[in-house]
Chains A and B, each alone.
Chain A
Amino acid sequence: MSHKQSYAGADPLVRPATQSEAKESVSAPRRPELTSTLARKCLIPAAALPIWLAFSFIAIAQNPGVVKSAEDLLAGPMQAKATTACTECHEARIIVQQRLSKAAWTKEVDKMIKWGAVIDASDRDPLIDYLSGNFGVEQPQYQPPRTSSEKKPVAKLK
Chain B
Amino acid sequence: MTTRRDFLKRISSAALAASAAPSFFLQNSFAQDRGISLPGEDGMIVRSSRFLDLETPVEYFDFWLTPVPHFFVRNHMHEPSELNAGDWRLNIGGEVEKPFALTLAQLSKLPTHSVVNTLECAGNGRGLYRPQVPGVQWGKGAVGTARFSGPRLRDVLQRAVVKSSGKHVMFRGLDEVPGKVPPFIRSIPIEKALDSDTLVATHMNGAPLTKHHGFPARALVPGWIGAASCKWLTEVKVLDSEFVGNFMSPGYRFPNQPGKPGEVVKPEDTHPLTALNVKSVISGPLDGASVKPGHVTIHGAAWAGEADVVKVEVSTDAGATWSAATLGHESAHYAWRLWSYDWKPKPGDYTILSRATDNRGRSQPDTPVWNPSGYLYNAIDQVKINVA
Contacts and interface: CB of A to CB of B under 8 A. Distances in A.
A69 interface: yes
A89 B178 contact: yes
A149 B55 CA distance: 14
Contacts of A107: 134
Contacts of B1: 158
Given A100-B132, A146-B28, A147-B38, A25 B86 contact: yes
Specify which of B33, B48, B127, B132 lies most central, judged by the most chain A CB atoms within 10 Å of its CB: B48
Contacts of A13: 49-50
Which of A16, A29, A137, A156 is the most central at the interface, judged by chain B CB atoms within 10 Å of its CB? A16
Contacts of B40: 16, 18
A143 to B, nearest CB: 10
Given A16-B40, A98-B137, A157 B63 contact: yes
Interface in B64-111: 65, 67, 69-70, 78-86
Nearest to A94: B48
Interface string B140-176: 0000000100000000000000000000000000001
Contacts of A37: none
A15 B46 CA distance: 14
Interface stretch (A38-46, A49-57, A76-84, A109-117): A109-117
B137 A142 contact: yes
B51 interface: yes
A116 B181 contact: yes
B180 A147 contact: no
Contacts of A150: 39, 42, 69
B39 A18 contact: yes
Contact of A26 (B33, B65, B83, B131): B83
Contacts of B127: 97
Contacts of B38: 10-11, 14, 16, 147-148
Interface residues of B, number: 69
B134 A89 contact: no
Nearest to B205: A157
Give the secondary structure class of A's interface.
loop
A71 to B, nearest CB: 8
Given A93-B46, A116-B181, A148 B137 contact: no
Contacts of A24: 85
A97 B44 contact: no
B49 A146 contact: no
A108 B37 CA distance: 30
Nearest to A23: B208
A31 B4 CA distance: 40
Contacts of A155: 67
Contacts of B37: 9-11, 69, 147-148
Contacts of A140: none
A53 B127 CA distance: 36
B45 interface: yes
Interface of A: 9-11, 13-19, 21-30, 63, 65-70, 88-91, 93-94, 97-101, 104, 107-108, 114-117, 137, 142, 144-150, 152, 154-158
